[in-house]
Every structure is written in structure tokens, then in C-alpha cells.
Amino acid sequence: MGFESWLERDHAMLLDFTPQVTGLLSQPLWLFWEDERGKRVSHAPDYFARFEDGRGLVVDCRPLDRIDARSAAKFAAARAACEAVGWGYRVVGEVDPVRMVNVRWLAGYRHPRHGADDGLAARSLALFSMPSPLVAQAGLLGDPIAVLPTVFHLLWLGRLTADLSRPLSDATLVSRAEAW
């Protein structure tokens, strides 16, 4: 996935982490128009996300305190174009650093190999049916070194959930996600 800044990288990772997102494209399109003075203007939004229900979302990434008049005009044009075709549009800024560290960690377990043992995944989901401390509960299934990659994979997939606004630790409470 392409990105031009760490901020874009973080938002691409957050979109990838969103279970309802089924497709993600970097710089999906170019918009061209003339401004009020007749000057030709162009803009390529940062991302397009497709959701499982068919919705589309176009995302521009910019620290909110760095949006100048020129950028604001481009973002307004992008919003109008998205509304015209029935897509959502969002300008996103800085991400909570603790949440981002946690998501980056979990991204290391996104590969299906970490959930390849269907039996272990099913037992993990059953064991975390009630909020429970991460490592102690994983230890009930076996050696945490062998079990935790599956638990982290299930967290990445959104089948398990935890408060990612706090640093992940041995005591982090993990539970089965409501949708599952």
C-alpha cells in the first residue's frame, strides 16, 4: 500500500484494521476543476475504502493544524465530488499514539498463518467469552508463546476486542467481539 507520510501509513493501517473494510486503494483518483478565478486545480485524495455493505469512503490525511486555505479548498472540492457519487468523505489528522502502537503490533499478526490452527482459534474465542486478562487467559490454552499469536490474529481480525487506547500488556482485558 502506497503512502507519502507516516500519517498516511497510520491511516492506511487503521483502515486495514477495520473489519468492515473489504478493499483499500492508495491515491484512487484525480479530481480536476477550475477555481473561482478560472485557474486549473487538481487533487488526488489519499485513500479510497470499500466497505462490506458497498459503501465507499474517500480519505485525505493531513494534520488538522496544517490545513491552509489552499488545502481546505481542495478538501471541499473532494467532499462535493464524493457526495455527488454517493461516497463518504473524511479528512483525518493525527492518530492517538498509544492506539497506533497497538495497531502496529497487531498488524504483525495479520497474516493467516497466525490463525491457521482452527481448533486453537475456536478455543481462544470460547475462552475469551468474558473479558479476561490477556496472558493469564491465553496461558490456560497452553504455552503463551504458542497461543498469543493466534489471540493477536483474532484481535487483528476484530473477532476479539480490547481497549487499544491503553498500552497492550499482560493484564489487558480481552473479550470476544459482539458481532461474533
Per-residue pLDDT of 31-64, as tens digits, reads 999 988 999 999 999 999 999 999 999 999 999 9
Percent of the chain clearing pLDDT 90 (strictly above): 95
* Predicted pLDDT of residue 49: 98
Is pLDDT larger for residue 179 or for residue 38? 38
Contacts of 142 (CB under 8 A, 6+ apart): 120
Mean pLDDT over the full length of the chain: 95
What is the per-residue pLDDT for 179? 54
SS3 57: strand
C-alpha–C-alpha distance, residues 28 and 45, integer Å: 7
Confidence band, pLDDT 50/70/90 cuts, at residue 15: very high
Per-residue pLDDT, averaged over 148-162, amounts to 97
25 CB-contact burial (10 Å; exposed 0-12 / middle 13-18 / buried 19+): middle
Helices 97-107, 144-157: crossing angle, 10 deg rounding: 110
Parallel, antiparallel or unpaired: strands 88-92 and 56-61? parallel
pLDDT (mean) for 7-11? 96
pLDDT, average across residues 12-30? 96
Q: What is the edge-to-edge ordering of all strands in the sheet holding 132-133?
A: 132-133, 173-176, 160-162
- When pLDDT is averaged across residues 12-40 and rounded to a whole number, the result is 95
Element (H, E) at 134: helix 134-139
Picking from 96, 113, 115, 98, the residue whose alpha carbon sits closest to that of residue 155 is 115
What is the CA 9 to chain-centroid distance, rounded? 10
